[in-house]
Chains A and B, each alone.
Chain A
Amino acid sequence: GQNIDQPTEMTATEGAIVQINCTYQTSGFNGLFWYQQHAGEAPTFLSYNVLDGLEEKGRFSSFLSRSKGYSYLLLKELQMKDSASYLCAVKNSNYQLIWGAGTKLIIKP
C-alpha cells in the first residue's frame, strides 16, 4: 500500500522554530509537496522537493531524503497566523498525489 505519515498535532510558541516531519511509502516518487490549510479553507501550496536537500523560502524551509523516504517542513520565527494544518503529499509513479492526514500546528503566545 501507499501511505504518508505525519504527526497529528504539534504545539509551538510564537517566535520559536518548529519542524514537522513526514515519512512516506509510495509506488514510485515524482516529487514531494507541502501545503498549508487554515481551518475551513482550501489548501495552499508552500513548497516542492524532488531532489535531496534543503529548499528555503523565507521563513519556511523543506528538506527531502529520498533514500529514507523522509521530509520535514521547518517554520522559523513563528507567528500566530502560522496556526494551521500542514499537509505532506507525494506524487507517485502515476503522477497522482498521495496525501498525508495533515499536522495541526497550534501556536501559543
Chain B
Amino acid sequence: IAGITQAPTSQILAAGRRMTLRCTQDMRHNAMYWYRQDLGLGLRLIHYSNTAGTTGKGEVPDGYSVSRANTDDFPLTLASAVPSQTSVYFCASSEQGGEDTEAFFGQGTRLTVV
C-alpha cells in the first residue's frame, strides 16, 4: 500500500541522548516535511525539503536536523534531546511545494524525553 511510514511509533528517550526519527514515502513526492504537534497548538513546521538534496528550516528548527539524500527518505535527528522536545512528530509529503497540493501524513511518532 502506497503511503508514508514513520518509525518508531513511540519512544521514551533519556535527556541528552541522540535520536533519529525515520520517515519513508513511496509516492515519489518531491516535498517532505517534519511537524511537531503539541496540545493546544497547531502543527508547527520543524524542517522541510522541496526536493532531494535540499532542505530548509521551518518555524521551530532549533535542536533538530534533517537530511534528504534521496526522494524517499527524510530522517529527523535530535542531537541531544531535551524534555521540551516531548511531542508527537508527524512526517508529511506532497507532490510538490506548490499551491494546491495536499499533504499526506505518516502515522506519527510519540516521543517522550525524560
- What's the count of A-B pairs with C-beta under 8 Å? 47
**List of A residues within 8 angstroms of B105 by Cβ:** 42-44
Instruction: Please count how many residues in chain B sit with their CB below 8 Å of the partner chain's CB atoms.
Output: 21
Q: Which of A65-109 contact B (CB under 8 A)?
A: 87, 89, 91, 95-102
Chain A residue nearest to B91 in the complex (CB): A42
Interface check B98, CB cutoff 8 A: yes
Do A87 and B43 have beta carbons less than 8 Å apart?
A: yes
Neighbour of B106 across the interface among A42, A99, A100, A101, CB < 8 A: A42
**List of B residues within 8 angstroms of A44 by Cβ:** 105
Q: Which of B29-45 contact A (CB under 8 A)?
A: 35, 40-45
Least Cβ–Cβ distance between B18 and chain A, in angstroms: 26
Q: Which of A22-36 contact B (CB under 8 A)?
A: 30-31, 33
Do B100 and A50 have beta carbons less than 8 Å apart?
A: yes
**List of A residues within 8 angstroms of B108 by Cβ:** 41-42
Q: Which of B82-97 contact A (CB under 8 A)?
A: 90, 97
Interface check A4, CB cutoff 8 A: yes
- Given the known interface contacts A43-B90, A101-B41, the answer about A96 and B58 at a Cβ–Cβ threshold of 8 Å is yes
Interface check B107, CB cutoff 8 A: yes
Instruction: Please count how many residues in chain A sit with their CB below 8 Å of the partner chain's CB atoms.
Output: 22
Do B102 and A96 have beta carbons less than 8 Å apart?
A: no
Do A95 and B42 have beta carbons less than 8 Å apart?
A: no
**List of B residues within 8 angstroms of A98 by Cβ:** 42
Do B103 and A97 have beta carbons less than 8 Å apart?
A: yes
Do B107 and A41 have beta carbons less than 8 Å apart?
A: yes
Interface check B48, CB cutoff 8 A: yes
Which residues from chain B sit less than 8 Å from chain A, CB to CB? 35, 40-45, 48, 58, 90, 97-100, 102-108
Between-chain CB contacts (< 8 Å), 7 pairs: A31-B100, A42-B105, A42-B106, A45-B103, A50-B99, A99-B43, A101-B40
